[in-house]
A and B are shown apart, each in its own frame.
Chain A
């Protein structure tokens, strides 16, 4: 029964459109993770930054009646959470995993609390279409059978995500600043003695990862769902983290991983009538993530100085 439904669903363009959409949703925080970790700061707070971004995005949009300002608000919120992580990890040299977990927990509590007091327990109203991030359709390209629906009828943020993917690939591997980022993540002392500002680079990368996670939050709340619900990121930030590792800390690898995990999510939604319980199906993306991390991938090496606070000076 399961296989029957699976083979019916797989060739449908709806499934793949969904796959790419969820893939893009995962890609944004995952790319943020890539730049942060490439500079040597472990960042597992995507979940928290995304959730805060989603909340800030919705509230800002409702307050200003402008979805563009809402997106900006979401990114700023993500950036602020990341700034906290940056100060704690870089200035105070605290354990970066602990800091990330703290931000995730704080984000959940903070958004729930604010949601309650700002709406008096009613929850946020569903956003009108005018206040949502629009789905685009690229004219004649959108009419191509199958591909048209999958590639050319996506939300605007999907296309933004693709541009950001290309941008980050270029930034990391073809620019001088990308060279410095990678140097700082592998051997910060060598970079320091060469005259690179290690601290500044790490700050910029961590804040950048916050901006990207915040944008993902905006995509989720303002683009896909059109509403904010408590804990609506549902662990997607962690799947993004897994995608980054699965993708070996490279932009293209991460994109590939995001598509695979996006497929898991899309399947779990579209196989609801296969007789398997919806709850069990909803675990599919997470199980896929675990399999990917544990089984299929050879040992992935993060940048050599990842997670180690930098102490300038003599040995």
Chain B
């Protein structure tokens, strides 16, 4: 096993680093999540953080956002050493995070979800719904993210819920956006729209770090890639100079078969027969309209 080091990509080094995490260590009983991990993200770039499940990506980003405290290591934002004790500190440093599992409150409206914690006016005062609505519509226009502020979040599609999460982060004037598996819950169409949104954000000067294990997205979206494996750095790559096979090899530590050769199947007797299946989602929409299928053994 090679000693893993961070190799600075050979692009211009004059671009300042928006985020630099040095030597981050975090261990829980029985498991080392981050083992002397380094991360360098340039201002204005889209940086992919990849690795298998359990590689330590989410932990590293939770540390950056202040949800988790590292055992040791340093964080520099725009060149300054910082101490991030909680999400409030991260927000003050203009770091925003869109989590893998949305942090939205279903019975509240879009506006209430977005402004929660940073409501217009003082904490003890009345909820200024006009100002909240105006601020959200303004952001909506600026970033091309149309949304109705008065809809209850539980009635929104997943793609729109993610849009609310992004607006939350933008409302707090974040410049550095962390996205944890953003396309995991999106349909292909929503994913396509999401790519457009990300590029738009970067055009407005944002820096984006996104966690994913979808190699195709990494190649299509990112400028640079940091690969983690089992809590350690496995390498960094320049996206334009790499390919899926190389990324996968770094993630796993050995050659990876991206195409699996399958022997022809010999289906046996039927083991499951489903006929006329109807189901409703949590939002009382019918999601299965009389589905039928058959599964055979083997």
Q: Does A180 contact B (CB under 8 A)?
A: yes
Given A186-B106, A193-B67, A196-B117, A179 and B127 contact (CB-CB distance below 8 Å): yes
Given A190-B103, A194-B103, A194-B168, A175 and B127 contact (CB-CB distance below 8 Å): yes
Q: Is the CB of B62 within 8 A of A314?
A: yes
Residues in A whose Cβ lies below 8 Å from that of B65 = 193
Candidates A174, A177, A190, A312; contact of B104 at CB < 8 Å: A190
Given A186-B106, A190-B104, A193-B67, A179 and B112 contact (CB-CB distance below 8 Å): yes
Given A178-B127, A194-B87, A183 and B68 contact (CB-CB distance below 8 Å): no
Q: Does A195 contact B (CB under 8 A)?
A: yes
Cα of A179 to Cα of B129 in the assembled complex, Å:
11
Q: Is the CB of B103 within 8 A of A189?
A: yes
For chain B, give the interface size range: 20 to 34
Q: What is the interface size of chain A, counting residues whose CB is below 8 A from a CB of the partner?
A: 24
Q: Does B122 contact A (CB under 8 A)?
A: yes
Cα of A193 to Cα of B87 in the assembled complex, Å:
6
Given A182-B108, A190-B103, A312-B67, A174 and B116 contact (CB-CB distance below 8 Å): no
Q: Does B125 contact A (CB under 8 A)?
A: yes
Q: Is the CB of A180 within 8 A of B116?
A: yes
Q: Does A315 contact B (CB under 8 A)?
A: yes
- The interface residues of chain A, by DSSP majority, are classed as helix
CB distance from B17 to the nearest CB of A (A): 25
Q: Does B105 contact A (CB under 8 A)?
A: yes
Q: Is the CB of B118 within 8 A of A195?
A: yes
Q: Does B80 contact A (CB under 8 A)?
A: no
Chain B residue with the shortest CB-CB distance to A173: B127
Q: Is the CB of B124 within 8 A of A175?
A: yes
Residues in A whose Cβ lies below 8 Å from that of B58 = 314
**Count of A-B contacts with CB under 8 A?**
81
| 8 Å CB interface, A180-201 against B | 180, 182-183, 186-187, 189-196
Chain B residue with the shortest CB-CB distance to A194: B117
Q: Is the CB of B116 within 8 A of A191?
A: yes
CB distance from A181 to the nearest CB of B (A): 11
Residues in B whose Cβ lies below 8 Å from that of A191 = 105, 116-117
Q: Is the CB of B125 within 8 A of A175?
A: yes
Cα of A192 to Cα of B112 in the assembled complex, Å:
15
Q: Does A145 contact B (CB under 8 A)?
A: no
Cα of A191 to Cα of B105 in the assembled complex, Å:
8
Q: Is the CB of B117 within 8 A of A195?
A: yes
| 8 Å CB interface, A102-129 against B | none
Q: Does B123 contact A (CB under 8 A)?
A: yes
Given A194-B117, A195-B88, A315 and B126 contact (CB-CB distance below 8 Å): no
Chain B residue with the shortest CB-CB distance to A190: B103
Candidates A175, A177, A314; contact of B68 at CB < 8 Å: A314
CB distance from B62 to the nearest CB of A (A): 6
Cα of A189 to Cα of B117 in the assembled complex, Å:
12
Residues in A whose Cβ lies below 8 Å from that of B122 = 176
Residues in A whose Cβ lies below 8 Å from that of B59 = 314
Q: Is the CB of A186 within 8 A of B118?
A: no
Chain A residue with the shortest CB-CB distance to B103: A190
Q: Does A139 contact B (CB under 8 A)?
A: no
CB distance from A171 to the nearest CB of B (A): 10
Q: Does B121 contact A (CB under 8 A)?
A: yes
Q: Does B47 contact A (CB under 8 A)?
A: no
Candidates A175, A177, A186, A192; contact of B87 at CB < 8 Å: A192
Q: Does B190 contact A (CB under 8 A)?
A: no
| 8 Å CB interface, B32-88 against A | 58-59, 62, 65, 67-68, 87-88
Q: Does A11 contact B (CB under 8 A)?
A: no
CB distance from A122 to the nearest CB of B (A): 48
Q: Does B99 contact A (CB under 8 A)?
A: yes
| 8 Å CB interface, B139-182 against A | 168
Cα of A178 to Cα of B108 in the assembled complex, Å:
12
Candidates B68, B106, B116, B127; contact of A313 at CB < 8 Å: B68
Q: Does B101 contact A (CB under 8 A)?
A: yes
CB distance from A23 to the nearest CB of B (A): 28
Chain A residue with the shortest CB-CB distance to B99: A193
CB distance from B298 to the nearest CB of A (A): 37
Q: Is the CB of B127 within 8 A of A174?
A: yes
Q: Is the CB of B105 within 8 A of A186?
A: yes
Q: Does B119 contact A (CB under 8 A)?
A: yes
List the interface of chain A (C-beta within 8 A of B). 174-180, 182-183, 186-187, 189-196, 304, 312-315
Ordered nearest first, which 9 A-B pairs have the shortest CB separation?
A194-B117, A195-B117, A190-B103, A176-B119, A187-B105, A195-B88, A194-B116, A196-B117, A193-B103
Q: List 7 A-B contacts (CB under 8 A).
A: A174-B126, A176-B122, A176-B123, A190-B113, A191-B116, A194-B116, A194-B118
